A = this chain, B = another copy of it.
């Protein structure tokens, strides 16, 4: 097992009817800005419930954080926070709203050009306004970690950053608030969570036995519960398990002490930035091809994955690995998430630009063995085009 540091001070408040509990977590003297997205939290009543809980507080709102939150929009919010001397942010929404709120929290008192926060991958952050979250879309894990991903429209750049100052003070996870999500967002959320886990699990063994068991436990739960969320949308326990999976899939627990990959995510970010493809869809397209092309490097973990997650223990090693990859793709498709670039109208001509953007962003030695080069990415993308 590798050495590690694990620190996660976010308080999770989980369960039906828990939005009202946010008042125990925010000082009465706070000047609060509620930050949200395109308005679904207005339509489904979550925003009203948050405001009802905060009666008597000094609150204001900022709406319009988009999926893949943009620097351009977020800087408008930073101005508002500065002008109105806001001292607590409350993100109400999914990963994009929470990621955007993390950037705002870090940018408000940042000395210098705030884009440098992203360019330094978060290292330059010295202080942040405290913030909490009310999660409505389980997927990103942002509600219990200190990372975020921001897009700059002007340059079609989508980059991650993180800093220990950017853990939410609290996150409310009420599974009933996910009942109204459209099937596409359920599918995306399950795929996103699944690939977060494989990025931390499908690498090479370092005798991280607990980390492996935990990752496998989360994957098995996604496989068991994910399809039920599509057929039985108001099943509380199904939604609760999926919501908790998403959080535990990316809160630092299963990565502590083991190697990590993240090549699928880094290439996926370029596809989103260039083609507007949903984040989870880029992952569903890329993961099977990533595993095929890199299967020698990942062989031991892929065999373990085949056996423990998919129950595949018959056949020669290559056949077992291939079968596990096929099962993975079929699972994504069963969640109604397509797994080929052609499904999204992206053709071979698009590949060189993706590879160029990766190079421009310094992403030339990706993966747990730092051997995913632009040339290999080109091959992987080729395999993503069609069946």
**Which residues from chain A sit less than 8 Å from chain B, CB to CB?**
1-18, 207-210, 213-214, 216-218, 220-221, 224-225, 236-237, 240-241, 244-245, 248, 253, 256-257
Contact = CB atoms under 8 A, between A and B. Distances in A.
A217 B218 contact: no
B241 A209 contact: yes
Contacts of A12: 4-7, 256
Contact of A15 (B2, B8, B224, B237): B2
B16 A11 contact: no
A163 to B, nearest CB: 15
Give the 9 A-B residue pairs with the shortest CB-CB distance, closest first: A3-B15, A213-B217, A207-B237, A9-B9, A7-B11, A6-B12, A1-B240, A209-B221, A209-B241
Contact of A13 (B5, B210, B217, B218): B5
Given A5-B13, A209-B241, A213-B218, 13 more contacts: A1-B15, A3-B16, A4-B12, A5-B12, A7-B9, A7-B11, A8-B8, A9-B9, A207-B237, A208-B241, A210-B217, A210-B245, A244-B257
A225 B207 CA distance: 11
Contacts of A7: 9-12
Contact of A241 (B9, B16, B210, B253): B210
Tell me what chain A mostly uses at the interface: helix, strand, loop, or mixed. mixed
Nearest to A238: B207
Contacts of A207: 237, 240-241
Contacts of A218: 210, 213
Contacts of A15: 1-4, 257
Name the residue among A1, A18, A208, A245 with the largest chain B CB count within 10 angstroms: A1
Contacts of A256: 12, 14
Contact of A18 (B3, B18, B209, B240): B3
